[in-house]
Structure 1
Amino acid sequence: MLTLSSIGEQIAARRKTLGLSQAALAKQAKVGHSTLDALENGRLGELGLSKIVRLLSALGVELHIQESAGRRPTLEELMEEDRDDQSLDRRR
């Protein structure tokens, strides 16, 4: 699952790749420097989609939405997997 913290990490990496300072990116995307700093360092609890889109656009990247790859396993499935793993360990 994509989190705001992971988005911040990716924004920071792309910004650095492009050789932009936080101040330059913040100005170009019309967001506060302190907001960008908090986003990149995982200290931001929430950020509006329009600000994220402006940051991504300024970096030349896009956000795509797609169906998740799968569902979370049930407790029974996890327990069965654990039993299988333990069974494999005994065979060695």
Structure 2
Amino acid sequence: MQTLQELGEAVAVRRKQLGLKQGDVAAMAGITAESLSRFERGRTAEFGARKLLAVLAVLGAELGVIAQGQDGNLDELRQERAQTSTNRTGAA
């Protein structure tokens, strides 16, 4: 994720996966439902770290820092490792 909008969209996806309503998540996180709604829709210029961490805690999620170019899902990483191993054994 590179933008606040993408982060908001990811939070919305997680909330929906859990079957939670915006109002319920907002109340548990101690923020307004309108603030969460604007964040999820990418309609806010900023969303404070405390608010974000509170929302993530309610959703059972956490924020991870990944160096650019190092993202990918576990299956992609496994495939890359397998290809590297195959290339090493095939080149010998």
2:42 corresponds to 1:42:
yes
The answer for the alignment partner of 1:89 in structure 2 is none
| Distance in 2 between residues matched to 1:47 and 1:15, nearest whole Å | 17
Partners of 2:14 and 2:64 lie apart in 1 by 16
Q: Which runs of 5+ in 2 are unaligned?
A: 71-92
- Counterpart of 2:81 in structure 1 is none
Secondary structure of the 2:43 match is coil
CA RMSD of aligned residues (A): 1.3
How many residue pairs were aligned?
Answer: 70
Poorly superposed stretches of 4+, deviation over 4 Å? none
Distance 1:41 1:49 in 2: 17
Secondary structure of the corresponding residue to residue 13 of structure 1 = helix
Percent of residue pairs identical: 39
Deviation at 1:29, TM superposition (A): 0.8
Amino acid at match of 1:52: L
Is 1:29 the counterpart of 2:24 in the alignment? no
Q: Distance in 2 between matches of 1:38 and 1:10?
A: 13
The separation in 2 between residues aligned to 1:55 and 1:30, in whole angstroms, is 9
Larger C-alpha radius of gyration, 1 or 2?
1
* Per-residue deviation, 1:41: 0.9
Matches of 1:42 and 1:64, distance apart in 2: 20
Provide the residue aligned with 2:62 in structure 1.
Answer: 62
Summarize deviations over 1:18-67 as a string: whole Å, max 9, x none: 11100000001111111001011110110111111111111001001132
Equivalents in 1 of 2:13, 2:60: separation in Å?
13
